[in-house]
Amino acid sequence: MSKRDCYEVLGVSRSATGKEVKKAYKRLAMKFHPDRTKGDVALEEKFKEVKEAYEILNDPNKKAAFDQYGHEGVNQQGQGGFGSGGFGGGGFDDVFGDIFGGGGRGGAQRAQQGSDLRYNMELTLEEAVKGVSKEIDIPTLVHCEQCNGSGAKKGTEAKTCGTCHGQGQVQMRQGFFAVNQTCPTCRGKGKIIVDPCHKCHGEGRYENSKTLNVKIPAGVDTGDRIRLSGEGEAGEHGAPAGDLYVQMNVREHDVFVRDGNNLYCEVPISFTEAALGGEIEVPTLDGRVKLKISAETQTGRMYRMRNKGVKSVRSHSTGDLMCKVIVETPVKLSSKQREMLKEFEKSCSSSPKKHKPKSDGFLNNIKNFFDDLSK
């Protein structure tokens, strides 16, 4: 069975450019690829036909042979071993990699994008909760303004590499095999800078530090990070810069402990305030506020002050302030104070169930425990 005309298979004219041939192949390869046709034998054969047509028209030698003699001319050319369309010849695998994400093996290397950077920013709790703007200095590789990132001295430009003729690769042959390797002269770039820029020494970038003003939004916490697009290292020879990631670390606070959007603090109260109740002042990040203490409050009790915590950076909700009261035992008592406390203790001991329910219950539990052991 005779093979179809390659131009007809790809749907292009005989005067089509290499770019038009490649575009037509990409479209058809996506349409008939086996991963998409799911076992349809007829469409798999169509894919093979499209692949073969592209390999012929993409190779200058094969294309010339096909234009003059048709498929027979290509077959005769292929009998001498692997040609430029074999290993590393810039054929099917190059375009297939473009479509499905693998890198092509032929062609000069693209200038590499700059690396991403990370900056660890220390914040106080107040700065993290309320937001702040900070200036930071970043040591990095910056774009060379003198050569505009090209690496070539102003008024000059890079020349096409004479070894690989701009391809970035050279073909090494051994017997019937031909393998493409990175050009040793231009190191895969396809171009050589004859007269390099004095400031960046031909790199298109140089080491320097830059100062940035970073706006930290209110509500950030340890582990959060801000991405500053294009503020990382400058790319090679004018390629795009990487990104800068500012990582947050909130220092410990003397008064508050943060848990999500809630704040926790311990508030000391006197024995009298715990017994009789009253109002005390407690700190918040916005100043002092009044907290009402209930009578007969026990140490460790938690009071909630709503919406006195942290406003979330990801929503409009605000956390609470949780105040844990700690009853403070009096110290350095005078003789008179001691006598007064002893009298007070005597008055409470006359009715322990009434005045000391927890102590009374605890003592009863101990008594029952030892009674059970003795049985």
Say yes or no: domain 257-328 is CATH 2.40.37.10: no
What are the beta bridge partners of residue 289?
A: 282
User: Which class for 14: exposed (0-12), middle (13-18), buried (19 or more C-beta within 10 A)?
Assistant: exposed
Q: Do domains 117-158+193-250 and 257-328 have the same CATH topology?
A: yes
So what's the pLDDT on residue 294? 94
Q: What is the pLDDT of residue 84?
A: 37
Neighbours of 88 (CB within 10 A): 21
Distance CA 266, CA 255 (A): 8
- Classify domain 6-100 by CATH architecture: Orthogonal Bundle (1.10)
Beta strands in the chain (DSSP E): 117-123, 132-143, 159-160, 169-174, 177-182, 191-192, 205-216, 225-228, 244-250, 257-259, 262-270, 278-284, 287-293, 302-305, 321-328
Nearest to 271, CA basis, from 351, 333, 326, 335: 326
> pTM of the predicted model, to two decimals?
0.59
The CATH architecture of the domain made up of 117-158+193-250 is Sandwich (2.60)
What tens digit of pLDDT does each residue of 330-356 get?
899 999 999 998 998 888 887 766 776
Residue type, 347: S
Q: For the chain, give me the number of helices (H) and strands (E)?
A: 12, 15
Digitized pLDDT (tens) for each residue of the chain, 375 residues in all:
567 888 998 998 888 888 888 888 888 888 887 767 667 788 888 888 988 989 999 888 888 888 877 777 777 655 443 333 333 334 444 444 444 433 444 556 667 888 999 999 999 999 999 999 999 999 999 999 999 888 999 889 889 998 888 888 888 776 666 778 888 888 888 889 989 999 998 889 999 999 999 999 999 999 999 999 999 999 888 889 999 999 999 999 999 999 999 999 999 999 899 999 999 999 999 999 999 999 999 999 999 999 999 998 888 899 999 999 999 998 999 999 999 989 988 888 877 667 766 766 666 777 676 666 766
DSSP string, 99-125: HHSPPPSSSPPPPPPPPPEEEEEEE-H
What residue segments make up the domains of the chain, in order of their start? 6-100, 117-158+193-250, 257-328, 343-374
